Amino acid sequence: MTMTTIKVSPETRDRLKAQAAASRVSLGEHLSRLADAADRGLRFEAMRRAMDATPADALATYAAETDEWLDADLGA
């Protein structure tokens, strides 16, 4: 594994180290989890934008199809 140095303020470093310790993971693992969470947030934001851009007729079709499935008698 290649190691690198990043420049952060001592306050930020200490916060990150404390957070990692509280989660019982290494600082590297904690930073990886933070990066994963940020990536996930970006994916959800992209999904929200796509949903907001969905045309009204497509939303109506989706709602009608959803209602049909919810009302379906599946023999249960």
Cα dist. 43→37, 40, 46, 47 in Å?
A: 10, 5, 5, 6
Q: Which residue stretches of 1-73 are H helix?
A: 10-22, 27-52, 56-71
pLDDT tens by residue, 58-73: 999 999 999 999 999 8
Q: How far is Cα 35 from Cα 14, in angstroms, rounded to an integer?
A: 18
pLDDT tens by residue, 5-30: 999 999 999 999 999 999 999 999 99
- The pLDDT mean for the chain works out to 95
Residue 5, Cα to own-chain centre: how many angstroms? 27
